[in-house]
Structure 1
Amino acid sequence: MPKGPKNKTHSGAKKRFRVTGSGRIMRRQASRAHYNEHKPSKRTRRLKDEVVLAPSDVKAIKNLLT
């Protein structure tokens, strides 16, 4: 039986989110893109790592990534 058309991955979402092996969605933290020179080093170090996406946003982002 023929299947319908495939859905395309959202180009913007695939650049901004990644799915872990266990299925969680990770995102970058805001306020680290530019003007870092005048921000405290403590703050930029804290914002360095990826964090797990908020549960309320997971459904929408998974839809964009599949």
Structure 2
Amino acid sequence: MPKLKTNRSAAKRFKLTGSGKIARRRQGLRHILTKKNAKRKRRLGQGALVDSANEPAVKRMVPKATLKK
């Protein structure tokens, strides 16, 4: 079986946590911030985990060797 190619855009967006889960950033904090309240912007600034339904897809795009800790 040939080596898997890493999706480089996905490799830059996801990283592995210490417990082996996949971390991601939240969307919606780039522009049009005036209509969003402070609580919402604060929450968007915090990271999140990839949902279990999407984990297999992310792992296919980014093989384990490339996921950074």
* TM-score bin (small chain): 0.7 to 0.9
Which residue of structure 2 aligns with residue 57 of structure 1?
Answer: 54
- One-letter amino acid of the structure 2 residue matched with residue 54 of structure 1: D
- One-letter amino acid of the structure 2 residue matched with residue 46 of structure 1: R
2:33 to 14, 36, 50: 36
- State the Cα distance separating 1:31 from its structure 2 match: 1.0
Sequence identity of aligned pairs in percent?
A: 38
Matched position secondary structure for 1:47:
helix
- State the Cα distance separating 1:62 from its structure 2 match: 0.7
| Mapped partners of 1:52, 1:12: distance in 2 | 18
Matched position secondary structure for 1:26:
strand
Consecutive unaligned residues in structure 2, runs of 5 or more? 64-69
Count of residue correspondences: 63
Give the aligned CA root-mean-square deviation in angstroms: 1.4
- State the Cα distance separating 1:34 from its structure 2 match: 1.3
Q: Stretches of 4+ moved more than 2 A in 1?
A: none
Consecutive unaligned residues in structure 1, runs of 5 or more? none
1:17 to 1, 14, 20: 14
User: Which fold has the larger relative contact order, with Cα–Cα distance below 8 Å and residues 6 or more apart in sequence?
Assistant: 2
Give 1 or 2 for the bigger CA radius of gyration: 1
